[in-house]
Structure 1
Amino acid sequence: MKLTISPSPLAEQKKDAIIIFFQGADPLLPSGHAALKKLVAAYVKNAAFKGQAGQTAVFPLPEKMKANRLIVAGLGEDKDFYNGLLEQAAAAAVKAGRAAGMKSFAMASTIKLTGVSEADYQLLAGRGAAWGTYEFSTFKSDHKKKPAASLVFAGAVKDRTAVKNAEAQGTALLDTANVANLPGNEAPPAKIADWAKAMAKANGLSCQVLGKAELTKKGCGGILSVAQGSAQDAKMIILKHAGTDKTAKPIVLVGKTVTFDSGGISLKPGKGMGWMRYDKCGGMAVLTAMQMIARMNVKTPVVGILGAAENMPGSRATRPGDIIKAYNGKTIEVLNTDAEGRLVLADALGLAAEMKPAAIVDLATLTGAVIVALGSAASAVLGNDQKLINQLVSSGTEAGERLWQLPLYKDYSDEMKSDFADLSNLGKSGGAGTATAAAFLQEFVPDGIPWAHIDIAGTAWVESAKPYQDAGATLFGSRLLAQWISAQG
């Protein structure tokens, strides 16, 4: 979506629609828009629109107005507001407009919204507007491609950087969503690797792909054990952004990229298994973040590692009770082959640690337990460095992606000890599944390296259409990572 800035006020914009946000019953417009505010209030006075979060309404504008339509979008009440609702409202407004055949939109360059700066508003609203144009129609034979959309921020803008970043991040979201939503037969590890290579070339990143032979030579027994039951070979994809600060240590982002998760020998129930195409969403968030980082040309060097594998119950599949060796030399008793993501991440974290990073952050659709704990309202974050966790939580708040810290007590590490190997991939008691999974991962991060784990199992995709997006991948995590990394240095 093309984002531009115009000095002319919102009421003077000759577009298919102007978008105005409401917080409850209050239209949010900057000073100097009294006439427009009065007109908008009259439209919604007797309408069903009440400014609730995710709610939108479309009205025709009188001939005296240059725009054809008015779209109002709700943020909910002030007491319930968080930044993600602004991005969702912008997406919902554009989505509603696109459904009515519109392609050009305008919104005020700034609004009065408690706790949201002008730059944050432009980033959230611009990025949300871009997300509102997305449709996954690859396999719909009767789909007609809609024309490209545009958005103008109307009025004075102090600094154009936020609008430029919104366009860069919006483009990255739309590009990666097409891969994130592909089913397992269309997105095996090899295809993910090919897409990553093409994306890297287009955005000035370097890309290295380790295949089965290289992974075997390196001793990456975790990811290889996951792929054993599949006809598809595993791939470890390593993307690098050089950055402009040549003296800085790199930040390493690690993403679980299980392209389809049947559970392996520990087979999942058939109901809902089709959604396991989205077990690659940790890697998809890293792919998106790396493209955002490259397009914004951030100073900090960043490495993205995707451990891509398919978990299937073939004749060579890893069995419960098998013992494997990870890249860092630790042995693991595989008690449950459906706890496979942590085996993939074990090798990826080992490789990340060798890069002597400033910090490592991994993202994964790792446990059902996190959904029990937090639902889809937030993702869990755990780690070994409180400063890093605080930064990620703060960046998530700014980016509209909420994180909630869970503890990482020694008790959870004790749960992961095995009678027959160094570790087991399942806790002895079966409780605290999110924390014990993180405790397992911590065993592959050397002391002295700040590390955080983000479990996105409850936030990585939606199973039914929302006002702001269709069913499918959300790419949760990419926004907060871009926010955090762009603030470094």
Structure 2
Amino acid sequence: MKFSISPAPLAEQKKEALVVFCQGGEILLPSGSAGLRKQLAALLKNSAFKGEPGQVAQLPLNGKQVLLTGIGAAKYFHNGLLEQAAAAAIKAGRAAGLKTFAMASTLTLEGVSETDYQLLAGRGAAWGTYEYATFKTSAKKSAAATLTFAGPVEDRGVIKDAEAQGAALVGTADLANMPGNKATPTAIADWAKTMAKENGLTCKVMGETELAKKGCGGILSVASGGAEEARMIILKHKGTDPKAKPIVLVGKTLTFDSGGISLKPGKGMEWMRYDKSGGMAVLTAMQMIARMNVEVPVVGILCAAENMPGSKATRPGDIVTAYKGKTVEVCNTDAEGRLALMDALGLAVDMKPRAIVDIATLTGAVIMALGGSAAAVLGNQPQIVNELIDAGLTAGERLWQLPIFKDYSDNMKSDFADLSNISKTPGAGTATAAAFLQEFVPEDIPWAHIDIAGTAWLESPKPHQAPGATLFGARTLAQWVASQD
């Protein structure tokens, strides 16, 4: 989606559709829009539209279409609703055959700055153009869409950032939605190489031979039951201060998770293509970071493998050795993500980073705790956790902190190895998984873990997107990294 800026007010824009946000019954327009507000209020008198989240009303006005889109009541508002409302409006407009859109460049919304509004609304509009039709043989390519921000814009760079971030989301979404037979570890590595070249990043891919030489026994054990070889994909953004310590982002990239020998139930297993969502968030964030050309160096690591129950698969009770030498008893092969992540975290530590954040669809327990409304964040230092929560609130992705008590770490000890990959006692699955990962990061390196198992995927359609990958976490990571400059 191409963005532009026009100094003319929204009512004067000669576009097919005007996008107008509503907070409940309040029409959100900038000052100087009294005439347009009055016309819309008259149209709404006999309408069922109440400005609720996800609600879109298409109304004819002066030869154009107005797309009223709701963000809900003020007391329940969070930034994610604004981005979703923009996406829902564009999605509805596209379904009606509209191609050219305009929205106000500013609006008054408590707690949302002008630049935050432009980034959220623009990024959401771009996301609203996305549709996954790769394997639909009858699908026709949709015409390109445009969005004009109508009115004064103080910082035009924000509009460019919104366009770039929207393009990164849309550009990665097909890969994120692809099934395991198409988005293999090798295919993802090839995609990452091409993306890196296009965005000024460097890309190194470690195959099984190099991983074995390094002693990365965790990811190799995960991949041992399948025909697909594991890949460790390392992307680097040099930054404008190459002497600075890098931030490292690590993403779990399980291209398909059958559970291995500890086989998952068959019902719903087709959705396990989503287990690569952490890596997809990192891929997307790295594109955003590169296009914004942030000052700090950033490294993105994707630990890519598939977990299958083949004749060479890791068995429950097997002991594997992680990079750096710690031993792990694999008590359940369906707790495989942490085995791949422990090697990636070890490689991240070697880079002497200023901070490490890993992101993963790691536990079903987080869905029980938080559902699909928020991701869990846990870490070894309060500052990095608080920074990520704040970045998420600004970026429209809600994070909720869970603790890592010493009890949880104690429960990950094994009678036969240094660690077990599951807890000795039931409960607190998200926290015990994080406690396991914490064992691979020195205390003096700020580290946080984000569990997106409940937020990374939609199984049923929403007004702002069809079923599939949400790329949750990419927006937060890009926001947080940019704040570190």
Structural mapping, 1:28-67, within 5 Å: 28-63=28-63
**Secondary structure of the equivalent of 2:218?**
helix
1:356 aligned residue (339, 352, 357):
352
Structure 2 distance, partners of 1:184, 1:387, is: 37
1:294 aligned residue (269, 290, 293):
290
1:339 aligns with 2:339: no
The residue aligned with 2:24 is: 24
2:386 aligned residue (372, 387, 390):
390
The residue aligned with 2:368 is: 372
TM-score, length of structure 2 as denominator length: 1.00
> Cα deviations across residues 169-227 of structure 1 (Å, max 9, x unaligned)?
00000111010000000111000000000000000000000000000000000000000
**Secondary structure of the equivalent of 2:352?**
coil
RMSD over equivalenced CA pairs, Å: 0.5
Structure 1 distance, partners of 2:43, 2:188, is: 48
The residue aligned with 1:98 is: 94
Which residue identity does 2:72 align to in structure 1?
Answer: G
Q: How far does residue 260 in structure 1 lie from its aligned partner after superposition?
A: 0.1
Structural mapping, 1:221-300, within 5 Å: 221-300=217-296
Which residue identity does 1:230 align to in structure 2?
Answer: G
1:181 aligned residue (177, 180, 184):
177
Which residue identity does 2:405 align to in structure 1?
Answer: Y
Structure 1 distance, partners of 2:396, 2:155, is: 21
Identify which range, 41-50 or 353-362, moves more after superposition. Answer: 41-50
Structure 1 distance, partners of 2:259, 2:325, is: 25
1:160 aligned residue (156, 159, 163):
156
2:299 aligned residue (303, 307, 312):
303
The residue aligned with 2:104 is: 108
Which residue identity does 1:302 align to in structure 2?
Answer: V
Structure 1 distance, partners of 2:43, 2:342, is: 57
The residue aligned with 2:470 is: 474
Structure 2 distance, partners of 1:61, 1:39, is: 8
The residue aligned with 1:423 is: 419
Structure 2 distance, partners of 1:218, 1:62, is: 67
**Secondary structure of the equivalent of 2:372?**
coil
The residue aligned with 1:432 is: 428
1:89 aligns with 2:85: yes
Q: How far does residue 19 in structure 1 lie from its aligned partner after superposition?
A: 0.5
Structure 1 distance, partners of 2:43, 2:469, is: 35
**Secondary structure of the equivalent of 1:244?**
coil
Which residue identity does 1:52 align to in structure 2?
Answer: E
The residue aligned with 1:488 is: 484
1:443 aligned residue (419, 439, 457):
439
Give runs of ≥4 in structure 1 deviating > 3 Å: none
Q: How far does residue 45 in structure 1 lie from its aligned partner after superposition?
A: 1.4
**Secondary structure of the equivalent of 2:478?**
helix
Structure 1 distance, partners of 2:366, 2:49, is: 34
Q: How far does residue 5 in structure 1 lie from its aligned partner after superposition?
A: 0.7
Structure 2 distance, partners of 1:355, 1:202, is: 24
The residue aligned with 1:399 is: 395
**Secondary structure of the equivalent of 1:135?**
coil
1:322 aligns with 2:318: yes
The residue aligned with 1:410 is: 406
Structure 2 distance, partners of 1:212, 1:105, is: 49
> Cα deviations across residues 11-50 of structure 1 (Å, max 9, x unaligned)?
1101110000000000000110000000111111111111
Structure 2 distance, partners of 1:447, 1:396, is: 24
Q: How far does residue 324 in structure 1 lie from its aligned partner after superposition?
A: 0.4
| Sequence identity percentage | 72
Structure 2 distance, partners of 1:480, 1:100, is: 32
The residue aligned with 1:4 is: 4
> Cα deviations across residues 349-379 of structure 1 (Å, max 9, x unaligned)?
0000000000000000000000000000000
Which residue identity does 2:48 align to in structure 1?
Answer: A
> Cα deviations across residues 275-324 of structure 1 (Å, max 9, x unaligned)?
00000000000000000000111111000000000000000000000000
Q: How far does residue 447 in structure 1 lie from its aligned partner after superposition?
A: 2.2
The residue aligned with 2:451 is: 455
The residue aligned with 1:141 is: 137
Q: How far does residue 446 in structure 1 lie from its aligned partner after superposition?
A: 1.5
Structure 2 distance, partners of 1:413, 1:151, is: 50
Structure 1 distance, partners of 2:2, 2:124, is: 13
**Secondary structure of the equivalent of 1:168?**
helix
Which residue identity does 2:70 align to in structure 1?
Answer: G
The residue aligned with 2:208 is: 212
Structure 1 distance, partners of 2:327, 2:190, is: 31
Q: How many residues align?
A: 485
Q: How far does residue 246 in structure 1 lie from its aligned partner after superposition?
A: 2.3
Structure 2 distance, partners of 1:46, 1:32, is: 25
Q: How far does residue 161 in structure 1 lie from its aligned partner after superposition?
A: 1.7
Structure 2 distance, partners of 1:255, 1:324, is: 21
Structure 2 distance, partners of 1:469, 1:193, is: 27
Structure 1 distance, partners of 2:442, 2:200, is: 31
Q: How far does residue 9 in structure 1 lie from its aligned partner after superposition?
A: 0.5
Which residue identity does 1:262 align to in structure 2?
Answer: S
Structure 2 distance, partners of 1:429, 1:389, is: 26
Which residue identity does 1:233 align to in structure 2?
Answer: E
**Secondary structure of the equivalent of 2:233?**
strand
**Secondary structure of the equivalent of 2:347?**
helix
Q: How far does residue 239 in structure 1 lie from its aligned partner after superposition?
A: 0.1
> Cα deviations across residues 241-270 of structure 1 (Å, max 9, x unaligned)?
000012310000000000000000000000
Structure 2 distance, partners of 1:187, 1:452, is: 27
Unaligned segments of structure 2, at least 5 residues:
none
Structure 2 distance, partners of 1:262, 1:17, is: 45
Structure 1 distance, partners of 2:236, 2:66, is: 44
Which residue identity does 1:346 align to in structure 2?
Answer: M
